[in-house]
Amino acid sequence: MEVEPLYQLTATCPACQHEFRTSRIRPKFKEVSHMDSDFCPHYVKEDLNPDYYVVQVCNQCGCASTEHAKKTWSEQDLAMFKEQVSAHFQPRDYGGERTIGQAIETYKLALLTAQSIRESKRVIAGLLHHIAWLYRYQGTREHEERYLRFALDAYQEVYEKDSGEVNDARLIYMMGELHRRLGEFNEAAMHFSRLIHDKRIMDAAMIRAAREQWAEMREQMQQLKLAVPEGLFEEKKFKI
């Protein structure tokens, strides 16, 4: 018997306790063909993208969450969610197969839910970045860039406010890479340079990625006939 790529499971809504069905893609169908430089995965079977099914949505109240979401809500979270999200939600079912358009809707509901219950900035940044990826799959560049900008701003806030560790290499890399993708080469260079030269940063994979994207950026700047300033990447020239 042939196995269907999608399977259904039941979830309980953290807001209204209603039980609803949601779908997932079976692991054996999740074959990654390649990964973009900001870690956006591309799958061998484009229409079977596991990312479309990451967000589970309660069909009664619109509460939308991923596995990273808060599990227990305070009274205040619930009141804010009701006022800001569920009061405006028309019951609808996202439990079956999803188109990319529906996947985008589920992520936007997850973003609204997360904002209403004051999720951590890190979770919100991740949602914004995923929405940018969905627009990338769809080929709508303008929307992709809008959400990359939102994600970058959110990552910056995480870096300034919540990042306890100096060595948050992945976060620094991500900020550099999103600046590069948005054409902000000087800002990108500052972040890549920091990863390459700051002796306290030990994450070899992120240092290598920063070197590769720095090379990519030099090419990009040459193509755009922008001068690559001498000494831009010199050691300790930039501090962030």
Nearer to Zn ion, 17 or 33 (CB): 17
Shortest distance (Å) from residue 75 CB to Zn ion: 16
Q: Considering only residues 72-101, where is the footprint of Zn ion by CB under 5 A?
A: none
Phi/psi for 63 (5° steps) reads: -65, 125
Nearer to Zn ion, 58 or 221 (CB): 58
Q: Considering only residues 8-27, where is the footprint of Zn ion by CB under 5 A?
A: 13, 15-16, 18
Share of the chain residues as helix, strand and coil, in percent rounded to the nearest 5: 50, 10, 40
Binding mask 147-176 for Zn ion (x = CB under 5 A): ------------------------------
Q: Are 111 and 124 in contact (CB under 8 A)?
A: yes
HEC states along 104-161? HHHHHHHHHHHHHCCCCHHHHHHHHHHHHHHHHHHCCHHHHHHHHHHHHHHHHHHHHH
**Which whole-number Å values give the CA distances from 65 to 38, 69, 83, 120, in the listed order?**
23, 6, 17, 13
- The piece of 58-66, 94-102, 144-152, 176-184 that touches Zn ion (CB under 5 A) is 58-66
Binder of Zn ion out of 61, 151, 152, 175 (CB under 5 A): 61
Binder of Zn ion out of 25, 55, 58, 195 (CB under 5 A): 58
Q: How far apart are CA 144 and CA 138, in angstroms?
A: 9
Binder of Zn ion out of 25, 57, 63, 123 (CB under 5 A): 63
- The piece of 44-52, 60-68, 147-155, 211-219 that touches Zn ion (CB under 5 A) is 60-68
Strands 41-43 and 56-57, by their bridges, are unpaired
Q: Which residues bind Zn ion (CB under 5 A)?
A: 13, 15-16, 18, 58, 60-61, 63
